[in-house]
A and B are shown apart, each in its own frame.
Chain A
Amino acid sequence: MTEIEYHFEDFTPDRTFPLAVKRVTADEIVEFATEFDPQPMHLDEAAGRASILGGLSASGWHTSSMFMRMMYDGWLSRAASEGSPGIELMEWKKPVLAGDTLSGRSTVASTRLLRSRPGIGLVNFLHEVTNQRGQIVMRGENPIMIRLRNAAEVTP
């Protein structure tokens, strides 16, 4: 198991955490879409070009799932995460096309301790994913539950 490096106390407002870089392949786009979102623009290059997306493009849910993995590999695997209650906002701003290289970052917006779960705090993040052309393809806002390093020293 990966060593835990980041606890709640490390997530101070405005601190940024880079996401891992991800190259998106046509095979992955088609594989995800075949199982979960079999629309022509996610399955076929010609159909994608004919759509407003302009090429074989990832399902938005695939983009979000890839973002999740980029976040996991970038920093979440080394954080004392207890999961997330949801996503306040997610914008799929530009198509994610086969061959794109995605990068991005998570920025701490705010934090608070959870009265209902002693020893755990909620960290609100802004996430941005950018393609190799410098375009933001995805923006998200979401809280993640993270354990405190020194739960005993802090009371909500």
Chain B
Amino acid sequence: MRLIELSPPGTRIETGTLLFTPEDIIRFARKFDPQPFHVDAEAAKHYVFGGLCASGWHTCAGWMKTFMAYWTAEVARLEAAGHVAPKLGPSAGFKSLQWRKPVYAGDSITYSVTLIESRPLGSRPGTFINLTENDGVNQHGETVMRYEGTVLEFT
């Protein structure tokens, strides 16, 4: 089964919700992005964002985390029903990533994926590249991040 058969272009699928606790925000940022507004709630007041907020990379990793949880369950569901699940592979990157609003400590972000198109990869017969639009929305209904992703699919 191809991804495009499972999920027709334009179908928005919510993959899950992730709560950004101050502890998680600081733990991620200490490893990867220790700018003051990501590691210190007091210092963050003196910056544009105005409060402790997640590294943009943490927000992105959260998209991947909820996608993987969704996809693992989806593969299990398809296989249990006797289907061959789409074989998704690595990604070559993304574009037009917008961190539209800060993700503040205590925010819950609900992520989604929408398949836009699927096309054969010229350099690898039998391999397709899927283009997706992905986003994250906070508990106030505000889109905090969106980007255009890619994922390879093998047949």
Contacts and interface: CB of A to CB of B under 8 A. Distances in A.
Contact of B91 (A60, A68, A77, A117): A60
Interface string A26-41: 0000001001111101
Give the one of B32, B36, B68, B95 with max A CB within 10 A.
Answer: B32
B48 to A, nearest CB: 5
A81 B47 CA distance: 9
B89 A52 contact: yes
Given A68-B55, A85-B98, A88-B96, A51 B32 contact: no
A53 B90 contact: yes
B7 interface: no
Give the one of B64, B94, B147 with max A CB within 10 A.
Answer: B64
A115 to B, nearest CB: 15
Contact of A52 (B37, B43, B90, B94): B90
Given A37-B68, A89-B95, A90-B97, A60 B47 contact: no
Contacts of A61: 57, 60-61, 64
A69 B68 contact: no
Interface of B: 31-37, 43, 47-49, 55-57, 60-62, 64-65, 68, 72, 89-100, 147
Interface of A: 1, 32, 35-39, 41, 51-53, 59-61, 64-66, 68-69, 72, 76-77, 81-93, 95, 117, 120, 145
